[in-house]
Amino acid sequence: MNAGTLGIIAGSGDLPRRLIAACRAQGRACFVLALQDQTDAATVQDVPHSWNRLGAAQEALDALHGAGVVEIVLAGHMKRPSLTSLKPDVKGAAMLARIGLRAFGDDSILRALKSELEREGFRIVGPDSILSSLLAGSGPFGTHRPDEAAQADIARGIEVARALGSVDVGQAVVVQQGIVLGVEAVEGTDALLQRVEHLRREGPRGVLVKLAKPAQDRRMDLPTIGPETVRRAEQAGLAGIAVESGGTLILDRDEMVRLADAAGLFVLGLEPPGSA
């Protein structure tokens, strides 16, 4: 059953391109809302699209409606702009006024954006509804397994990541020997891993733990890892990566596993909190 034209509000990275490819494979029409200073130019080659700046809400909505978009998916990394740089149009200003103080955290912004898009008549779907094969399963992905020290760091990382998520700060944390080397904030996971590269200690290597926020709408901003995550984890001197099964998107799974195996890193899918 064709669900109508899919609107892809695209950030940077590979996920928007994978969604476009999936639509083509399924024979489904898609339209990309490309955002200035956010979307990779290569993403919109040979696909219907419109370039818009973040503050031009009415222009963006008109483009989506004009393309006959029925469902919308948000995909890719977004750099959060300052309020002064947005320069919202009348529609954008009205939306910001409705969002109000909720706009402090990423999850709050996304929930507010979802409400605004639904107010316009769009249905919001998650990337996993189009790319279900990308969801992480449970257990190890490659040949390596966490040892006792890594298991202890994973447990500590889960505790800290849940605390971070409960106050809408970030999804990821790096722990080594029980010490939190860094937590993800506005910079994103790649920058977190680059930062902790200079903070690692002698002895058993640390781990990256990445979980969805407890109150997060799973249709928006699911945690995502891929080959680049493994490369940066290796550069940071980590032992491995642990993510939530059923709640994390895995990009280029085969390549990610190949790199992890070659680097001696484990990649582990954790059972969601409260299961079993």
3-state secondary structure of 186: coil
- Confidence check: pLDDT of 217 > 80: no
pLDDT: which is higher, 104 or 72: 72
What contacts 261, CB < 8 A, 6 or more positions away? 142, 143, 144
Give 151-202 pLDDT, tens digit per residue: 999 999 999 999 888 777 788 999 999 999 999 987 789 999 999 999 999 9
pTM: 0.80
Give 38-81 pLDDT, tens digit per residue: 899 999 999 999 999 888 889 999 999 999 999 999 988 887 76
Is there a shared CATH topology between the 5-129 domain and the 135-270 domain? no
pLDDT: which is higher, 265 or 110: 265
Cα gap 159→173, rounded to integer Å: 10
CA distances 254 to 163, 173, 187, 244, Å, are 32, 24, 27, 18
Task: Write down the pLDDT at residue 100.
Answer: 62
- Confidence check: pLDDT of 109 > 80: no
Give 116-152 pLDDT, tens digit per residue: 888 899 999 989 888 878 889 999 999 999 999 999 9
Q: Do 244 and 211 form a contact (C-beta atoms < 8 A)?
A: yes
CATH class of 135-270: alpha beta
Q: Do 25 and 52 form a contact (C-beta atoms < 8 A)?
A: no
Confidence band (pLDDT; 50, 70, 90) for 114?
A: confident
Lowest mean pLDDT of 90-104, 160-174, 248-262, name the range. Answer: 90-104
Task: Write down the pLDDT at residue 276.
Answer: 45
Which of the listed CATH numbers 3.40.50.20, 3.30.460.20, 3.20.20.210, 3.40.1190.20 matches domain 5-129? 3.40.50.20
* Average confidence (pLDDT) over 96-120: 68
Structural domain boundaries in the chain:
5-129, 135-270
- Confidence check: pLDDT of 214 > 80: no
